[in-house]
Structures are given as C-alpha cells and as structure tokens.
A and B are shown apart, each in its own frame.
Chain A
Amino acid sequence: MSVMRLGYVHARVTDLADAKQHYGETLGLRAVHEEPGKVYFKGWDEYDHHSVVVEEGGVGLVKLGYKVSELTDLELYEKRAQQFGCITERMSAGDNLEVGDGVRVVLPSSHVVELYHEMTTVGTDVGSHNPEVFPRHLVGVGVPRVDHALLTTSDVATTERFFKDVLDFYPTERVATTLDDDAHVIGTWLTAGNTVHDIAFIEGPDNKLHHFAFELGDWNEIGRAGAIFSMDDVSVDVGPTQHGITRGRTIYFFDPSGNRNEVFAGGYVAFPDRPCVTWTVDQIGKGIFYVSRELNERFTSVLT
C-alpha cells in the first residue's frame, strides 16, 4: 500500500513540433503515441506506456500522475484527500490514454495530481528476458526515466502535510527559516519510497511549475547531456553542478516553450527513519547550487 513513483508529467507547450524535437531528439524519449495537439513519450527504461505528455497550447503543468501499488489504495487516498479538504474526482479507465481507473486530486497548491493503479505495460526498450544493459541505439541524451517534479506553493507547510498525511510521503530535506520546530518552512523535498525525492515544493505562487526532471546515472552522463544541449542549442539555466539538497548532480535547462527541465543523477537512497535534513535559509544558495553557493534570480522567478 503506497504511492510507487511519479508515473507521468503532462505539460503544455507552445509548439508541438519543437517539443517533439526537444523531448524526442534531444532528450531521447520515444514518442509512443501522437494525436492532434498531443504527443506521448516514454524513456527507454520505463515499462509503462508513457511518462511524458505534451499538449499544444500555453506553457506550464497540466497535471502529474502518481502510480499506486494496490487498486484499493485509490479508495483510501481518495477518502483521506477528501478528509483533508481537497476536491477529488474519479477518473475512469480511458480518461487518460492507456491509464486505468483513478482519482484526481486538486492539491492545496492548486496543482492537479492523478493517482492511478494501472497503465498498459509496453516493456522497457531492453526487455526483461536476459536484457542488455542499455539499448544500442539511444537518441540524444537517452534519458531512461522521469524522476521527480518541483512545484511552487504559497503554503509549503500545508502542502507537505497533505503529502505526509494523505499519501504517506515523508520529507527527506527541508529549507526553513531557523532550526527551531516552529520555523517557517519554505521548501520541502518528499519521497514515497527510496528515491531521494518524488516531488518537491518551494514557496512561490500556487499552481506553477518550477521543473520536472529526468534521471541520469552519474557525472559523466550529466556532462555528456550538457554537450548534447550545446549541439542542439538548448537554453541552459544552470550547470552542470551539484545540489547540496539531495546531493544530486544536475543541469537545469528549458524546453522550447520555456518549461524548465532537469537532468538529475545520484541522489542518495532515502529511508523513512533517516533523519530529515534541514537547511537554513541563509544557506539556501549552497543547498540549491552546492558548487557556486549562489542562487541566481531565475531560480525563484522563472516559473511556468
């Protein structure tokens, strides 16, 4: 009984052809389905039908999908979300392409999260019988999977409480004004399993996207991704550098519509009994960009 992972990110883009070039040719996701105004993608190591949906018209996030391990989880999480005071809505199989029944929840931050238990399995690109360790003909960066998203909320504490109380997430790291218990929390990094984060929130306007991230293996792969970004004239925000928070190695960059993406490698393994790390606001520069220790203006002001 739990949320297993961030299953899909559904984002808006201003131009579908440009988005297809970016997510398909630069990041190397495979387009698994196209329909007027939408393209569905998956990473090579993902076995469910898709993990990224881009929809033409605007910028920003439409919704995130989190996959739960048991069908009965849906009812439980639905009830808890309602008790928390959130608006929920049942979704039926087929409301989202290749996705089964689910529950749509409007978060305290106004973002839409969909919980679901089934998505059509298509298998990884190396299969599951005596598989090779990676596909031979990866395109571009060749990202294996979607990893996490960072969103903004006007009330970090309440949003964190929602993820803890309703969805059984736990925070791995926080940014707070002081080390006191009653400190004002301005950022929280939460996980449902053992990855260092499945979602994170920082203080800002409600219903905005800061970034969504793709997993990579190590520094070398981050460096190689940076070279591909140069070849493809991708707008790079920051990096390659390392986060103090999560210890992840990273490049922040923008898709052709200005949505921020990240390639992320090497966060530590999280456990619910591991003490939550606290960063004080005065050290936030080091927490976010460990090498330069400086937050640029874009970190807080560039949202879609």
Chain B
Amino acid sequence: MASVTVDPDGITVQARDGECILSALNRSGYGYRTGCRRGGCALCKADLVSGEVSYPVVVADSVLPAEEQAGGACLTCRAVPHGDVVIRLRDDRLRCTSSFLAALAGRVTPAVERNI
C-alpha cells in the first residue's frame, strides 16, 4: 500500500500494490479530468510533487516525453506509485464523485460529515 495525496486540496487515498494513481482515486470515490484512461491522450497528466512512480505498461513517448517525465510530469492513468506520492493536478481539482466509494475507502466526505 502507498498513499496518494492530491494537491492543492491535500486529499489522501491509499493505492493497492500495482494500482495506478487514477484507479486508486476512482476506487476511493474521486474523479478528475481524464480521457482515454489508457495512456494515449495525455489528458490525465499531472505533476509529481514528491515520491516515485513506475510505468508497468509502456507509455508512448509522444504522450509523455522523457524530458517532461524528468521535469516531474506523470501520466496518472498509467503511473503506479512506489511508496507514498504527492501529485498536483493541472488546471483541475479533485471531485468526490461517489460518497459510497469514499466511505468504503475510509474517507469521510464533507457531505457525510454534515449528515446530509
């Protein structure tokens, strides 16, 4: 297990072994702007603020050029955390898309907190 924290809101979820960042967030009830979910379109690109990721599935260089990767970009639909990571979304904010999944993942959403 590794923790995935998403800035600027600082929301943290747990990623299972081998699970990519996007899947970990979706499984925990969170969503953000994505496209193909298969590493082809770059819509899910974010900045890796800290930690390490790897790409078990090959990603096209045209989608995530080596220089961008070296500069801290990561493709969240393919990047698998190795240890705890912090990412920052680009021009987007994390949204809670399912309070059920968020509750299941052990996160209390603001809506549940306020007893709505």
A residues adjacent to B (C-beta < 8 A): 12, 14-15, 18, 57-60, 235, 237, 254-260, 297-298, 301-304
Contact A255 B38 (CB under 8 A): yes
CA distance A55 to B14 in the complex (A): 36
CA distance A301 to B34 in the complex (A): 10
Contact B41 A301 (CB under 8 A): yes
Contact A58 B60 (CB under 8 A): yes
Shortest B89–chain A CB gap in Å is 14
CA distance A304 to B63 in the complex (A): 9
B15-64 interface with A by 8 A CB criterion: 33, 35-41, 43, 57-63
Contact B33 A258 (CB under 8 A): no
Identify which of B38, B43, B62, B63 contacts A301 (C-beta below 8 A): B43
Contact A298 B57 (CB under 8 A): no
Contact B40 A254 (CB under 8 A): yes
Assuming the contacts A14-B57, A298-B43, asked whether A254 and B38 have C-beta atoms less than 8 A apart, the reply is: yes
CA distance A93 to B27 in the complex (A): 52
CA distance A243 to B39 in the complex (A): 26
Contact B39 A14 (CB under 8 A): yes
Between-chain CB contacts (< 8 Å), 22 pairs: A14-B59, A15-B58, A57-B60, A58-B60, A59-B39, A59-B40, A59-B62, A60-B62, A235-B37, A254-B40, A257-B38, A258-B38, A258-B39, A258-B40, A259-B40, A298-B35, A298-B41, A298-B43, A302-B35, A302-B36, A302-B40, A302-B43
CB-defined contacts of A302 to chain B, threshold 8 Å: 35-36, 40-41, 43
Shortest B78–chain A CB gap in Å is 9
- Closest residue of chain B to A16, judged by CB? B58
Interface string of B55-76 (1 = CB under 8 A from A): 0011111110000000000000
CA distance A60 to B33 in the complex (A): 21
Shortest B66–chain A CB gap in Å is 14
CA distance A239 to B10 in the complex (A): 34
CA distance A258 to B34 in the complex (A): 12
Contact A14 B60 (CB under 8 A): yes
CB-defined contacts of B33 to chain A, threshold 8 Å: 297
The 8 A-B pairs with the shortest beta carbon distances in the complex, nearest first, are: A258-B40, A258-B36, A302-B35, A258-B38, A302-B41, A254-B36, A14-B58, A235-B37
CB-defined contacts of A15 to chain B, threshold 8 Å: 57-58
Contact B43 A235 (CB under 8 A): no
Shortest B40–chain A CB gap in Å is 2
Shortest B28–chain A CB gap in Å is 19
- Closest residue of chain B to A12, judged by CB? B60
Contact A303 B41 (CB under 8 A): yes
Assuming the contacts A254-B36, A258-B36, A297-B33, asked whether A304 and B41 have C-beta atoms less than 8 A apart, the reply is: yes
Contact B35 A258 (CB under 8 A): yes
CA distance A60 to B61 in the complex (A): 12
CB-defined contacts of A235 to chain B, threshold 8 Å: 36-38
CB-defined contacts of B43 to chain A, threshold 8 Å: 298, 301-302
CB-defined contacts of A254 to chain B, threshold 8 Å: 36-38, 40
- Closest residue of chain A to B39, judged by CB? A258
CA distance A258 to B35 in the complex (A): 9
CA distance A223 to B35 in the complex (A): 22
CB-defined contacts of A304 to chain B, threshold 8 Å: 36, 40-41
